């Protein structure tokens, strides 16, 4: 297990694309210390920014442990395909971007774009996360295509933007546009949603188990479901099930908690 401890408080953006098990695993400690990392516009080595030590790990998996505040460090776990990263603190933007395997756990918060374009693997964030979880890069339609992101706290806006597969589970609240442009996959929100969930979605499943500010007028009501299955678990409802986004000829399914959203009872007149 390699342990990284920040040597000081970081003020400038740190490009941490080299902090992944794939890159560390084949290298000696000396080589890891020499790995390139950018601090603002200055090229540095990992060892200049972090104290790095090698300890035995309880796990079979190649492990990187980061102890301290790395909220300025971006792209931790970039394209990793194996092993695990444990962040004991806050992590920066683009956590686990394009990862295709392995696991990342963060005890604190994570920035925006966590799990962006990921293909496989797991990211678990105990605190809050930013916007664009599992999203596509700007201009692209290829968001997250597999894997799992679990956020225990709240997440921001446009969670799962252009998502194509996989699961995003948010135990806290989300902002607006959860699942925007979704192509497939599942988003589950236990807390509240600030609204416009599923906007412009083509397919996929969004479950809002808490209060939602609104439901897009371009969604049509299907039926009331007693329970919904998410990640092998049965979530108790009842839920209103909507289909949409009709403006995009979408067949996505939006489940909205009935008891937490009494204002939606006006839709019941459309059900036989």
Partner 1 sequence: MKVIPAVTCPVCGTFCDDIEIVLDNNNQIIEARNACAMGAAKFLNYSTHRTKTPLIRKNGELVETTIDEAIEKAAKILVDANYPLLYGWSNTSCEANRVGVELAEEVGGVIDNTSTVCHGPSILGVQAAGISSATLGQMRHRADLIIYWASNPWDAHPRHPERYTMFSDGRFQKSSWTNYLSKLRGEMSKKKIQRASNLVLKKDFCFAPCQEEGLPYSMYTKKRRTIVVDVRKTRTADAADCFLQVEPGKDYELLQALRVLVNDGELDVDEVAGIPVETLEDLTDVMIGCKLGILFFGLGLTMTKGKHRNIDAAISLTRDLNNRTKFLIMPMRGHYNVTGADIVSAWSTGYPFAVDLSNGYPRYNPGETSAVDILCRDEADAVFVIASDPVAHFPRAASKNIAKHPLIAIDPEVTPTTMLADVILPPTFVGIETEGTAYRMDHVPLPLKKVVEPPEGFLSDKEILQRILQKVRELRKRDMN
Partner 2 sequence: MTELIVKNGFVYDPLNRINGEKMDISIRDGKIVESVKDKADVVDASGMVVMPGGVDIHSHIAGGEVDTARLLRPEDHVKDVEVKTALTRSGVGYSIPSTFTTGYRYSRMGYTAAMNPSMAPLQARHTHEELSDTPMIDKAAYPLLGDWWFSLEHIRDGLIEENAAHIAWMLKATRGYAIKIVNPGGLEAWGFGRNVHSLDDPVPNFGITPREIIRGLCKVNTLLNLPHTIHLHTNNLGQPGNYVTALESMKCVEDLAREDRPVLHITHIQFCAFKGEDWGNLSSGAEEISNYVNNHSHVTLDMGQVVFSDTTTMTADGPFQYGLYHLTGNKWVNHDVETETSGGIVPFRYKRSSAVHATQWSIALEIALLIKDPWKILMTTDHPNGGPFTSYPKIMAWLISRGAREKVLKKINKRARKKSLLPSIDRELSLYELAIVTRAGQAKALGLKQKGHLGVGADADIAVYNINPERDDPAKKFVTARNAFTSAAYTIKSGQIVVKDGEIVKPVFGKTYWVDVKTSMPQDINDDIKRKFREYWTVEYENYPIREGFLHAPAPITVKAEV
Residues at the interface with partner 2 (CB under 8 A) = 136-140
Q: Which residue has the tokens 């516009």?
A: 41
Q: How far apart are CA 269 and CA 48, in angstroms?
A: 66
DSSP label at 70?
Answer: B
DSSP label at 258?
Answer: S
**CB 117 → partner 1: shortest distance, Å?**
13
Applying CB under 8 A, among 123, 131, 143, 252 the residue interacting with partner 1 is 131
**CB 138 → partner 2: shortest distance, Å?**
5
132 makes contact, choosing from partner 2, partner 1, none, with CB < 5 to 8 Å by partner type, with partner 1
CB-based contact 255:236 (threshold 8 Å) = no
165 makes contact, choosing from partner 1, partner 2, none, with CB < 5 to 8 Å by partner type, with none
**CB 163 → partner 1: shortest distance, Å?**
15
Handedness of CA 204, 250, 199, 239 (dihedral sign): negative
Chain residues 192-231 in contact with partner 1, contact rule CB under 8 A: 196, 199-200, 214, 216-221
Cross-strand pairs, 123: 104, 149
- Of 36 and 236, which CB lies nearer to partner 2 in the complex structure? 36
- Of 54 and 140, which CB lies nearer to partner 2 in the complex structure? 140
Nearest residue to 204 via CA among 180, 176, 177: 180
Q: How many CB atoms lie within 10 A of CB 246?
A: 14
Q: Which stretch binds partner 1 (CB under 8 A): 38-46, 119-127, 163-171, 232-240?
A: 38-46
CB under 8 Å to 71, separation ≥6 — which residues?
89, 90, 91, 92, 109, 111
257 binding partner 1? (CB under 8 A): no
* Residues engaged in binding partner 1 (CB under 8 A): 11-13, 15, 38-42, 72, 74, 93, 112-113, 131-132, 137-139, 176-177, 180-181, 196, 199-200, 214, 216-221, 245-249, 267, 270
């Amino acid at each position: 297990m390699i342990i990284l401890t920040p040597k000081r408080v970081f003020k400038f953006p740190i490009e941490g694309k080299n902090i992944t098990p794939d890159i560390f695993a084949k290298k000696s400690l000396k080589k890891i210390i020499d790995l390139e990392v950018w601090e603002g516009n200055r090229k540095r080595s990992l060892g200049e920014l972090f104290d790095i030590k090698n300890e035995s790990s309880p796990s079979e998996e190649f492990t990187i442990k980061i102890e301290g505040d790395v909220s300025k460090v971006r792209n931790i776990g970039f394209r990793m395909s194996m092993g695990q990263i444990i962040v004991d603190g806050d992590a920066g933007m683009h956590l686990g971007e394009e990862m295709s395997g392995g696991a990342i756990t963060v005890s604190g918060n994570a920035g925006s774009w966590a799990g962006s374009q990921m293909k496989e693997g797991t990211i678990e964030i105990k605190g809050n996360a930013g916007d664009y979880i599992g999203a596509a890069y700007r201009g692209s339609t290829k968001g997250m295509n597999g894997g799992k992101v679990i956020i225990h706290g709240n997440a921001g806006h446009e969670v799962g933007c252009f998502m194509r597969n996989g699961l995003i589970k948010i135990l806290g609240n989300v902002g607006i546009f959860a699942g925007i442009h979704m192509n497939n996959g599942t988003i589950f929100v236990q807390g509240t949603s600030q609204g416009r969930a599923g906007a412009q979605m083509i397919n996929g499943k969004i479950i809002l188990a808490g209060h939602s500010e609104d439901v897009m007028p371009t969604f049509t009501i299907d039926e009331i479901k007693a329970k919904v299955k998410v990640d092998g678990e049965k979530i108790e409802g009842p839920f209103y099930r909507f289909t949409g986004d009709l403006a995009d000829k979408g067949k996505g399914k939006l489940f909205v908690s009935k008891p937490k959203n009494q204002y939606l009872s006006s839709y019941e007149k459309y059900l036989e």
